[in-house]
Structure 1
Amino acid sequence: MNINILQYESDIWKTADFLRGAGIKESDFPKYMMPYFALLMVESRLIREAKRLEEEIGRDNIEDFVEMFQLEGLGYNDYVIRKNKSLKDICKNDKTFDVDFQSYLESFDPETKYLLGVNKGTEEEKFLDISGISGLLKKKRILFETVKVWSEIDLTPFDNSEITTLEEHIKRKWADISAETAGEQYTPDDIISLITELIVTKFEDNGKFLTIYDPTCGGGNLLFGVEDKIKSDLPSRPTATYGQEWNDTLFALAKIESRFRKDTYIEYGNTITEIGKFYDKFFNIAVANPPYGVDWKGYEKDVKNDSTERFIALPSISDGQFLFTQHILYKLNEDGFAVVVHNGSTLFSGDAGSGESNIRKHFFDNDWVEAIIQMPTDEFFNTGIYTYLWVFNKNKPADRKDKVILINASDLYEPLKKSKGKKRKQMNPDNRKEIVKAFTDFKDNAFSKVFDKWHFYYNKQSIMLTNVDENGKYIEMPTKVNRAGETVEEKSIKLVPTKIEVTSDNNTTTYTDFEITSFDKSKHKSLQDYFNDDIKPTINAIDYKEQDVKVFTKKATYWYDQDKETIIEEIKGEQTELGCGKIVIKSAFKKATKTKDASIVITVELTKDLQKDYEIIPYSPDEAINQQTIDDFMAKYITRPFEYVDNVIGVEVNFNKVFYVPEKLRTVTDIQAEIEFLENELANLENELGL
């Protein structure tokens, strides 16, 4: 790369001086600058290609020259190609500038005018809006001065890759000041290099065609950057790139550049809702840095009605990055390889059975995950968080089947001498070389560890615990013989109450009527209303643990002893501890029948005090071993009676647990020595002060 390309970064930002002076707020700078930067990109490429063609065929016959140029399919501008004039030439005369600039814009080919937004009305679809922005700058009386500064920036000496690099530096600054870039993380060049270096380890330089796909391509820096580096490392392999973007202005920039690159196809649209773009294409390579932390609520209906079966599960509505990843895996061919940038939430967010966990499980079940690499913090332009490279391979070599390598590259960086937004670190070639070597060696070292994929699975085993009293006893239910001749346990002990006393705050309420058939018609329209408005809320409010509740039957009295956590049964003054349990008081409305009037019935039952809980237990793909692992865990850690309920298999990746290094504790001797030293120091100080 010609290092001088970045000298124009400061020149481009000089154009903002006019915007600032005209009272345009900083957050609007991108809107006012993007169209002219795109214009500069187009013109520089047209001029460069025209010079190349001129060297090949000359300009003696201008009509032949123009025809040949148009056949190249790069776009066209009559001022630039036929008249050999540039934006800089137009800016030499301020008196004719307005007319010349308008003619210059109208001299572009229809597609370029469409992308730039030349002469688009206020209601028309447009990606950039150069005519509208120019009109606003003219109203501010700074149009000529602004365009003149832009025209003095000469990008013609630089190739596509170099201009892409400059473009991303400018877009990064726009992202820093714009409030409309939530979730957009521009991929820096050092990460693009790392991604490419990982990719080329999987492909031979054998002359076969490679297709590269980015479903969230933005302005194209990751997609085009990877392609350029692959061409450098694998010069015998022809490539074609395919990208899709939903952001209007970024699509326009990528689309404009695509015409100056061979076999490059950029489509406009939302990848998640518009599967029609490249619907029949499946790719060798996919790269992406999809937006994260951005919700997909606006597309929920489309996603849930998607008929492609690419979404095996749905992540949280607040973060759609796993939707893009599922799409990427769907679009990879059977030998495909992908590297996708994510934040940390995709590693562990969501419980077993959740959308995120099921998506991870789907990836691991299919054995597509080959590596996950933790990047340093402060590596990206507008976020300081940890980021991760998910490395997917649909055709892992035999020795890597059902295995995954975790690479902790968080300490492999060098600090930047000058921060670029929030980017304060970068990976130099040596750092990247270490990571790629760890990936290719595929064995444990100081910062990488290889695991069977099953290591990341776990059982979430739900159980129904029976609570017990201080003596470990719980209320026992009577048994009965069912129709199959089996002895089964009843769910409750049904009491026939004669009286219920509920004491709370020294006030006692007594209930004696347990089948109510009458009501106060002046207060309630019907017995049903009486039940809904009065009886049901009152009964539901009774709490046998918080209140003193006594249930009287003809033979016995029952209550709950809070201190002993047991139900007491008293018969003729003799008390028996039945064990931990619940006193359940219910009310029900019974509709009238042919033989009975409508009534309200209050019942009492004694039941076990059950509590649903779950345990997280290591997983084995062998069903018998897995069940034995669960049983052994329960025998070791669960002391109360329980029954198995359901078991859900989850998947998560925890870098902190894998690479955690405990802090080395000081010895007692060292601590005592320091205490003695401090005591001596304090004594000396007291002596000096005469205390």
Structure 2
Amino acid sequence: MADSDIKSLGSFVWSIAELLRGDLKQSEYGKVVLPFVVLRRLDCILAPTKDAVVSLAEDLPDDLDDYTRDLMLSEAAGDGIRTYNTSSLTFRAMRQQQAGDIHKNLVAYITSFSPGVRDIFLDKFLFTDQLKRLNDAGILWQVFERFAQIDLHPKSVSSTEMGYLFEDLIRRFSEISNETAGEHFTPREVIRLIVKLVTDRDADALTGSGIIRQVYDPACGTGGMLALTEEHLRQLNDRVRVELYGQELNPESYAICKSDMLVTGHDPENIAFGNTLTQDAHKERSYHYMLSNPPYGVDWKKYQDPIREEAEALGHDGRFGAGLPRISDGQLLFLQHMISKMRDDDAGSRIGIVMNGSPLFTGGAGSGESEIRRWMLENDLVEAIISLPTDLFYNTGIQTYVWLLSNRKEQKRRGKVQLIDASGERFWRAMRKSLGSKRREISEEAIDEVARIYGDMLNGDGDWAEVSKIFQTTDFGYREIRVERPLRLRFEITKEAIERLRDQKPIQKLNAATAEALWAAILSNMNGQVWTDRVPFLKALDKALKAADLKVGAPVKKAIVAALGERDEEAEICRDKDGNPESDTGLRDHELVPLDQDWRDYVAREVTPFVPDAWVDESHRDAADRGVGRVGYEINFNRYFYQYVPPRPLEEIDTELRALEVEIAGLLKEVVE
């Protein structure tokens, strides 16, 4: 089916939603249209073997166990189909009957499906509730009759084309209900790029017969990534056996994905419902290929307890041993979950995941994000990261990145990471008509070009000098050392200093008589004097308090020093009881020293010439390697691919301004006349 035909089909199905206007809220249109599309698809697929299934169902003994009964009826429905319907009803038969029977007939038809499909319509789509609403509104027959006109048999609409249809419908429903379309699917050209990058390096290993590949998506949505991965693998080898696995939290997306698995011959039980991060439905399993587009910037606060418990109890024996990202973004949780399912054999596993920029650089040394990046890079799991063009997704125009990971790197890639900047104009083309936030698309030629750049491991070569660069994994690491400056204080009794002193909590806790005695002692004995050394100041303070026969505790003295002392670069250094300089926390700084440099050499070159009195706090150490300074990792694309664009000449700008002035003057003249 041509693209124009798919769009035409999508427009026709969309037009059916117009029948719901006034009786349902716009946000509820998808709850009717999507399950009706699935139902019509199943009806078209099962129609050729309907009579055989109905006849067999009538002849089967009543005492036959459920497993055998389901197996026999599924086989009668046809090869590659994991469902059946024992009702003699079909869309065609119901269309020929009276309109008044349509609600009863549809409910009977739905409840005659195999248990798996029946649960999809009853428990996930809640479709019988929607049918009742349509029937009560008097529009059920009109909606059904329109769907009965559509031919959704696989010979007319392939599984891939059905994916496009669902993509188009979900996008439209999400737009009118102001929901997040990106939570349901990824644009197909982005999926094709990821699939090609993940699988093409294994083309040789996929040749021959008896090849089995297991594919997994922990946030599978309607199953687009799974379907296109299988399609591409079969293009590489039509004899390969592909087993698809996934998990999805959204009930409608899950229902669509599981329905697609049923009609394409896959085991529907491999698609699980629920929260992947808290209820891993595929424990102890590992996969050859894993692909995903997890939610961006979605917090995991409401289900943080089981995640934290697993991380603390299991450490690296669990899924989240590397660290936990900030509560506002769970993307790196999904990535760790996928890494935990890598195969520990010669074949290994490959991962392709698309995320926003946050996992690249959010979080400083020691943070959860940095520790996760550190773990991946120090274990040499990251092969490449590709920056995609903006405005590719339906619900957001932000920059996105494809991460490619493997636990069986080629020899030439070991210890290295390839960064590819595929965000430039050479890699995208403008769409003739925008779809939500999606204004650009990646052409097949661009997909092939990115795959070639990755496959050939280009490193700033020729035309691609500013597009692809190879780095050592350690190039992204640094040590965050703590640089201290000595505390230098100048003391003077001023009005402002006294006001600061009055606001100190230890002072406020004094009784009124003691407070008044303290003010009198300070003002009468110390007013008008200036100290640039803390030691003489403290002696003068003790003398003033003694003269007033006033005894105060250490907290009060500390409050006096804090309130009356001001930083002064010309003052003497404050020292502890051992004579060591005290650090000024207000002047404390941190320097990021590249991992391939000695921090002492770095300080001598970059710090000491500018602040000679500075020193490094050597007690500030990394928790893992115990070296001075905390280790951090970040990947900043802008740093590696920044291209300076010189400002335009002033003469050019002046010319444009003069032209605009003339144009504005002309417009004003027209208004006046």
Q: TM-score higher than 0.5 here? A: yes
Distance 1:299 1:550, change over 3 A: same
- SS of 1:197's equivalent in the other structure is helix
- For residue 609 of structure 1, report the CA deviation from its aligned partner: 6.0
Distance 1:99 1:28, change over 3 A: closer
Distance 1:78 1:174, change over 3 A: same
2:571 maps to: none
- For residue 346 of structure 1, report the CA deviation from its aligned partner: 1.1
2:638 maps to: 656
Contact 1:586 1:603 (C-alpha < 8 Å) held by counterparts: no
Distance 1:143 1:677 in 2: 61
- For residue 37 of structure 1, report the CA deviation from its aligned partner: 2.3
Counterpart among 79, 84, 106 of residue 76 in structure 1: 84
Please, what TM-score do these two structures have when normalized by structure 2?
0.76
Task: After TM superposition, list the pairs within 5 Å mapping 1:351-362 onto structure 2.
Answer: 351-362=364-375
Task: After TM superposition, list the pairs within 5 Å mapping 1:423-442 onto structure 2.
Answer: 423-442=438-457
Please, what TM-score do these two structures have when normalized by structure 1?
0.75
Counterpart among 481, 496, 504 of residue 495 in structure 2: 504
Contact 2:485 2:615 (C-alpha < 8 Å) held by counterparts: yes
User: Amino acid of the residue matched to residue 310 of structure 1?
Assistant: R
- For residue 71 of structure 1, report the CA deviation from its aligned partner: 7.9
Contact 1:557 1:569 (C-alpha < 8 Å) held by counterparts: no
Distance 2:56 2:367 in 1: 69
Task: Note the alpha carbon deviations across 1:344-363, whole angstroms, 9 max, x for none.
Answer: 11111111111111111111
- For residue 8 of structure 1, report the CA deviation from its aligned partner: 1.2
- For residue 162 of structure 1, report the CA deviation from its aligned partner: 2.1
Distance 1:672 1:504 in 2: 56
User: Amino acid of the residue matched to residue 285 of structure 1?
Assistant: Y
Distance 1:11 1:530, change over 3 A: closer
User: Amino acid of the residue matched to residue 27 of structure 1?
Assistant: S
User: Amino acid of the residue matched to residue 165 of structure 1?
Assistant: Y
2:567 maps to: none
- For residue 300 of structure 1, report the CA deviation from its aligned partner: 0.8
1:518 maps to: none
User: Amino acid of the residue matched to residue 589 of structure 2?
Assistant: Y
1:465 maps to: 485
Counterpart among 273, 288, 296 of residue 292 in structure 2: 288
- SS of 2:180's equivalent in the other structure is coil
- For residue 78 of structure 1, report the CA deviation from its aligned partner: 2.4
Distance 2:411 2:498 in 1: 76
1:452 maps to: 472
- For residue 531 of structure 1, report the CA deviation from its aligned partner: 8.1
Counterpart among 502, 507, 510 of residue 534 in structure 1: 510
Aligned residues: 578
Contact 1:374 1:387 (C-alpha < 8 Å) held by counterparts: yes
2:343 maps to: 333
Task: Note the alpha carbon deviations across 1:612-671, whole angstroms, 9 max, x for none.
Answer: 52333342257xx354334433234433332324211111111122111111256xxx75
- For residue 570 of structure 1, report the CA deviation from its aligned partner: 8.7
Contact 1:185 1:289 (C-alpha < 8 Å) held by counterparts: no
Task: Note the alpha carbon deviations across 1:141-187, whole angstroms, 9 max, x for none.
Answer: 11111121122221112222221221222222223233453861621
Please say if 1:309 is aligned against 2:318: yes
User: Amino acid of the residue matched to residue 466 of structure 1?
Assistant: P
Distance 1:382 1:654, change over 3 A: same
The structure richer in strand per residue is: 1
Distance 1:572 1:467 in 2: 19
- For residue 102 of structure 1, report the CA deviation from its aligned partner: 2.7
Task: Note the alpha carbon deviations across 1:66-100, whole angstroms, 9 max, x for none.
Answer: 57425856211124xxx4x5224313331332332
2:31 maps to: 31
User: Amino acid of the residue matched to residue 454 of structure 1?
Assistant: T
- SS of 2:186's equivalent in the other structure is coil
Distance 2:94 2:616 in 1: 84
1:104 maps to: 109
Highest CA radius of gyration, 1 or 2?
1
Task: After TM superposition, list the pairs within 5 Å mapping 1:555-570 onto structure 2.
Answer: 559-560=530-531, 569=536
Distance 1:46 1:462, change over 3 A: farther
Counterpart among 267, 270, 274 of residue 269 in structure 1: 274
Counterpart among 108, 116, 122 of residue 121 in structure 2: 116
Contact 2:185 2:222 (C-alpha < 8 Å) held by counterparts: no
- For residue 5 of structure 1, report the CA deviation from its aligned partner: 3.4
Contact 2:501 2:559 (C-alpha < 8 Å) held by counterparts: no
Distance 1:61 1:87, change over 3 A: closer
Please say if 1:323 is aligned against 2:333: yes
Distance 1:38 1:604, change over 3 A: same
Distance 2:534 2:609 in 1: 29
Distance 1:671 1:330, change over 3 A: same
1:643 maps to: 616
Distance 1:661 1:570, change over 3 A: closer
1:633 maps to: 606
- For residue 114 of structure 1, report the CA deviation from its aligned partner: 1.2
- SS of 1:332's equivalent in the other structure is coil
Distance 1:185 1:105 in 2: 25
Distance 1:284 1:115 in 2: 28
Distance 2:330 2:144 in 1: 40
Distance 1:386 1:419 in 2: 17
User: Amino acid of the residue matched to residue 480 of structure 2?
Assistant: K
Contact 1:185 1:380 (C-alpha < 8 Å) held by counterparts: no
Of the structure 1 ranges 26-35 and 294-303, higher mean CA displacement relative to structure 2 is found in 26-35
- For residue 302 of structure 1, report the CA deviation from its aligned partner: 0.5
User: Amino acid of the residue matched to residue 399 of structure 1?
Assistant: K
User: Amino acid of the residue matched to residue 147 of structure 1?
Assistant: F
Distance 2:383 2:196 in 1: 15
Distance 1:604 1:423 in 2: 62
Task: Note the alpha carbon deviations across 1:466-509, whole angstroms, 9 max, x for none.
Answer: 155xxxxx89xxxxxxxxxxxxxxxxxxxxxxxx9955269899
Distance 1:33 1:243 in 2: 24
Contact 2:182 2:395 (C-alpha < 8 Å) held by counterparts: no
Task: After TM superposition, list the pairs within 5 Å mapping 1:122-521 onto structure 2.
Answer: 126-156=123-153, 157-181=156-180, 184=183, 186-203=185-202, 204=204, 205-207=206-208, 208-264=211-267, 265-275=270-280, 277-306=281-310, 307=314, 308-311=317-320, 312-334=322-344, 335-411=348-424, 412-443=427-458, 444=460, 445=464, 446-467=466-487, 503-504=494-495
Of the structure 1 ranges 219-228 and 431-440, higher mean CA displacement relative to structure 2 is found in 219-228
1:13 maps to: 14
- SS of 2:100's equivalent in the other structure is coil
Please list every run of 5 or more consecutive structure 2 residues that lacks an aligned counterpart in the other structure.
61-71, 541-549, 562-573, 576-581, 621-628, 662-673
Distance 1:140 1:227 in 2: 42
Distance 2:419 2:362 in 1: 18
1:596 maps to: none
Contact 1:282 1:332 (C-alpha < 8 Å) held by counterparts: yes
2:64 maps to: none
User: Amino acid of the residue matched to residue 332 of structure 2?
Assistant: F
- For residue 387 of structure 1, report the CA deviation from its aligned partner: 0.9
User: Amino acid of the residue matched to residue 343 of structure 1?
Assistant: N
Distance 1:505 1:5, change over 3 A: closer
Distance 1:428 1:674, change over 3 A: closer
Task: Note the alpha carbon deviations across 1:279-298, whole angstroms, 9 max, x for none.
Answer: 12111110000011111011
User: Amino acid of the residue matched to residue 484 of structure 2?
Assistant: M
User: Amino acid of the residue matched to residue 365 of structure 2?
Assistant: A
CA RMSD of aligned residues (A): 4.0
Please say if 1:619 is aligned against 2:594: yes
Contact 1:115 1:252 (C-alpha < 8 Å) held by counterparts: yes
- For residue 421 of structure 1, report the CA deviation from its aligned partner: 2.2
Of the structure 1 ranges 437-446 and 260-269, higher mean CA displacement relative to structure 2 is found in 260-269
